[in-house]
Amino acid sequence: MNTVVGRAAAWAIVVAIIVSALNAIARKTLGISSNAWLELQWYLFGAVFMLCAPWTLAMNEHIRIDIVSSRLKPQTRNWVEMFGHVFFLLPFALVLTYLSIPFFRLSFVSGEVSSSAGGLAIWPAKLLILVGFALLLLQWLSEVIKRVGVMRGLIEDEHTAAGHQAAAEAEAARLLALQEEAGLAPTAPPAPRA
Backbone phi and psi for residue 121, each to the nearest 5 degrees, phi listed first: -65, 145
Give a yes or no: residue 134 inside a domain: yes
Structural domain count of the chain: 1
- Inside any domain, residue 172: no
Q: Estimate the crossing angle of helix 123-151 against helix 2-10, to 10 degrees.
A: 140
Residue 183 sits at φ, ψ, to 5 deg, of 75, 25
pLDDT of residue 112: 93
Q: Does residue 174 sit within a domain?
A: no
DSSP 81-113: HHHHIIIIIHHHHHHHHHHHHHHHHHHHHHT-B
Range of the domain at 140: 2-154
Q: What is the pLDDT of residue 96?
A: 97
User: Could you tell me if residue 176 is inside a domain?
Assistant: no
What pLDDT is attached to residue 171?
76
Whole-angstrom Cα distance, residue 77 to residue 162? 10
pLDDT means per 10 residues, the chain with 194 residues, are 93 94 92 88 94 91 70 85 92 97 97 88 95 96 93 80 60 82 69 65
Cα separation of 169 and 183, whole Å? Answer: 21
Phi, psi of 113 (to 5 degrees): -125, 150
Q: What confidence score (pLDDT) does residue 95 get?
A: 97
Contacts of 176 (CB under 8 A, 6+ apart): 185, 186
Decide: 107 and 133 in contact? Cβ < 8 Å.
no
Domain membership of residue 126 (yes or no) is yes
Residue 50 lies in a domain: yes
Classify residue 191: in a domain, yes or no: no
Return d(Cα 187, Cα 194) in angstroms, integer.
21
| pTM of the predicted protein model | 0.76
Residue 162 lies in a domain: no
Residues in the chain: 194
